[in-house]
Amino acid sequence: MRFYFTTPIYYVNDAPHIGHAYTTIVADVLARYHRLFNDETYFLTGTDEHGQKVETAAKKRNLAPQDHCDDMVKNFEKIWAELNISNDIFMRTTFPYHKQAVQACLQKLWDAKEIYAEDYEGWYSVSEEIFYTEKDLVNGKTPQGNEVVKIKEKNYFFKMSKYQEWLIDYIQKNPDFIQPESKKNEVLGFLRKPLHDLCISRPKSRLSWGIELPFDKDYVTYVWFDALLNYPTAVGLEQNEKAADFKKWWGEGSGAGNAVHLLGKDILMTHAVYWPTMLKALGVAQPRTIFAHGWWLTDSGEKMSKSKGAVVRPLDVKDMVGVDPLRYFLTRDIIFGSDAAFSVDLVLSRVNSDLANNLGNLFSRSVSILEKNCGGTVPEYSVDKVPGSKALQASVEKLPALVKSKINSFEPQAAVEEIMGVLTETNKYFSDSAPWNLFKTDAEKGKEVLYMTLESLRLCAVLLQPVMPTKMRELLTALGSGHALTWEKDVAGGFGRLKPGTKIEKPAPLFPRVEAPKTE
Ligand code: MSP
């Protein structure tokens, strides 16, 4: 199967925070798993660069909007490199080919009479860039308490309402389309009320930083209409020379293509309502899945954001525990689709118990005993001399299929839990068998315990590589398996791939314990 994973394209104005890092890391983890499964995989992240806020911020800095964006985008590029994100493309809505393709789409919809012009009167909030009707207002202000002004102007509307019945039907007939189930139900609930048409223009007199409407040069495109289209324009929509790529990565027909959009629940409606109707009107395939995940919350249960970030400074946690442990925590401590709490204490306790104790210690203890009793050389494989060996092998052999099925059903947390379960079992087997004693009485048994333990560690490390690419590569290199991994040879080949005779040096601790920073 082919997969085209996308994160939201983040507002270029923002400083990257833990929420952005979360979606991007989970997308990276899923993309890396699918590459390991030999699925053809393409992975996009990027930035959303048009709109009022960008124009205003640029003005404040005395910069042209494009220069402001070129400067701000570096923050995102830098942090994704630091977090080891393996995106195939970094998409920006100011790329000329994107702008041209958005205009081609608008022209098509205009020619097909899917877009119409109408005078519109409403209450407009400049700071929120949103129109409100009379009944939306609270004491004459927006629900967020911002000032509004009455505006009457001509605007352009996309006939979204006419797709309401089609959309309800499509969602119901395609169970994988909107996930998880609870979010699908929210969307269907929302669609019980009549859908309105979508205003897709902004007059240049108010906002000029946007993509000009091809049929009216006094207007630019509403930023969401422009931004959502990034997903297919990035792989070639409306670009003749990229037609083959587009077919390959986006897909054909009117049903599901290859795209898997990952996003936070805050932007579910734009993705699950605006987006499918836009694609339908354009005659382009639908995404295969739109998956809305939950939020990381602060101790007091609020959504973490830039301002809250100042309290916990989530990305500083990376400097404290390292990149791979942060990736591990964000994958392991939240059920994909639900909310969860984020705090330094939670990160430390997870990292110390799972990585320092369960994984790192097991490796260093087994290598110490190997050094002492076998000159650091991996012994021959055997499984029938020590009680518990066969059961451990059976658990390890079941693991790859389990991990695959959890990843296929968007449960990265459960996949990691399965792997950690096998490591716990391996720890217990190791302690119960006490190889340090066996070497005094029956060295062959001691060797079996070491082989079984190291081989279990090897397979677990291969399966954890998408989550912790650098640390697991270190571990695998120490085990003599530092080559590019393949599912057939390194995983599905079954138990017993660790090569007898491999010399293992005692490595530096993989995951040193991390203490909480001292507070005054
Ligand atoms: N530019 C739009 C998206 C356009 S996509 C065509 C946008 N950008 S954003 O910068 O505000 O990013 C929002 C995304 O950041 C959320 O959908 C989610 O992926 C992520 N998160 C922001 N805060 C979050 C948490 N506290 N927890 C988890 N993820 C959250 O919206």
398-444 pLDDT, tens digit per residue, is: 999 999 999 999 999 999 999 999 999 999 999 999 999 999 999 99
2 neighbors 258 (Cβ within 8 angstroms)? yes
Range in 61-70, 118-127, 464-473 the model is least confident about: 118-127
Residue minimizing CA distance to atom 6 of ligand 1: 228
Q: Which atom of ligand 1 is nearest to the CA of 297?
A: 26
Residue minimizing CA distance to atom 16 of ligand 1: 264
Residue minimizing CA distance to atom 22 of ligand 1: 19
Q: Percentage helix, strand, coil, to 5, in the chain? A: 50, 15, 30
- Centroid of ligand 1 to alpha carbon of 285 (angstroms): 24
- Rounded CA separation 456/339 (Å): 32
Q: pLDDT digits over 348-397, tens only?
A: 999 999 999 999 999 999 999 999 999 999 999 999 999 999 999 999 99
Q: Could you count the other beta carbons within 10 Å of the beta carbon of residue 513?
A: 14
85 neighbors 77 (Cβ within 8 angstroms)? no
- Rounded CA separation 129/202 (Å): 10
Sequence letter at residue 429 = Y
25 neighbors 329 (Cβ within 8 angstroms)? no
Residue minimizing CA distance to atom 26 of ligand 1: 304
Residue minimizing CA distance to atom 17 of ligand 1: 264
Look at residue 301 in the predicted model and tell me its pLDDT: 81
Look at residue 313 in the predicted model and tell me its pLDDT: 65
**Structure tokens given for 147:** 């000032």
Among residues of the chain, what percentage have pLDDT more than 90? 83
Ligand 1 pocket, mutate which of 48, 317, 329 (most atoms under 8 A from CB): 48
Question: Is 342 near ligand 1, meaning CB less than 6 Å away?
Answer: no
Ligand 1 pocket, mutate which of 228, 266, 295, 308 (most atoms under 8 A from CB): 266
Mean pLDDT, to the nearest integer, of 466-479?
Answer: 96
Average pLDDT of the chain is 94
- Rounded CA separation 505/520 (Å): 41
- Rounded CA separation 268/178 (Å): 9
Among residues of the chain, what percentage have pLDDT more than 70? 98
Distance of CA 108 to the CA centre of its chain: 32
Tell how many helices (H) and how many strands (E) occur in the chain.
Answer: 21, 15
Secondary structure of residue 117 in the 3-state scheme:
strand
- Rounded CA separation 338/315 (Å): 21
- Centroid of ligand 1 to alpha carbon of 11 (angstroms): 8
Cα atoms in the 13 Å half-sphere on the side-chain side of 146: 13
- Rounded CA separation 364/510 (Å): 9
φ/ψ of 289, rounded to 5, equals -145, 140
- Rounded CA separation 184/171 (Å): 8
Look at residue 288 in the predicted model and tell me its pLDDT: 98
- Centroid of ligand 1 to alpha carbon of 348 (angstroms): 25
Q: Which residues contact residue 416 at a Cβ distance below 8 angstroms, ignoring those fewer than 6 apart?
A: 328, 331, 332, 464, 467
Mean pLDDT, to the nearest integer, of 263-292?
Answer: 97
Question: Is 177 near ligand 1, meaning CB less than 6 Å away?
Answer: no
∠ Cα 486 429 373 (to 5°): 85
- Centroid of ligand 1 to alpha carbon of 224 (angstroms): 13
- Centroid of ligand 1 to alpha carbon of 98 (angstroms): 21
In 3D space, the residue among 140, 69, 107 whose CA is nearest the CA of residue 282 turns out to be 107
Q: Which atom of ligand 1 is nearest to the CA of 7?
A: 19
- Centroid of ligand 1 to alpha carbon of 48 (angstroms): 11
Mean pLDDT, to the nearest integer, of 63-76?
Answer: 97
- Centroid of ligand 1 to alpha carbon of 299 (angstroms): 20
Is residue 311's pLDDT more than 80? Answer: no
In 224-367, the DSSP E strands lie at 259-264, 289-293, 296-297, 340-341
Question: Is 48 near ligand 1, meaning CB less than 6 Å away?
Answer: yes
Ligand 1 pocket, mutate which of 222, 263, 331 (most atoms under 8 A from CB): 263
Q: Are strands 296-297 and 340-341 parallel, antiparallel or unpaired?
A: parallel
Q: Quickly state the pLDDT bin for 306 (edges 50, 70, 90).
A: low
Strands ordered across the beta sheet of 212-213: 201-203, 216-221, 212-213
Look at residue 343 in the predicted model and tell me its pLDDT: 86
φ/ψ of 138, rounded to 5, equals -120, 115
Q: Quickly state the pLDDT bin for 310 (edges 50, 70, 90).
A: very low
Q: Which residues pair with 296 in a beta bridge?
A: 340
- Rounded CA separation 237/25 (Å): 26
Look at residue 127 in the predicted model and tell me its pLDDT: 76
- Centroid of ligand 1 to alpha carbon of 289 (angstroms): 17
DSSP state of 52: H
- Rounded CA separation 266/275 (Å): 15
Look at residue 492 in the predicted model and tell me its pLDDT: 81
SS3 of 322-344: CHHHHHHHHHHCCCECECEECCH
Q: pLDDT digits over 190-246, tens only?
A: 999 999 999 999 999 989 999 999 999 999 999 999 999 999 999 999 999 999 999
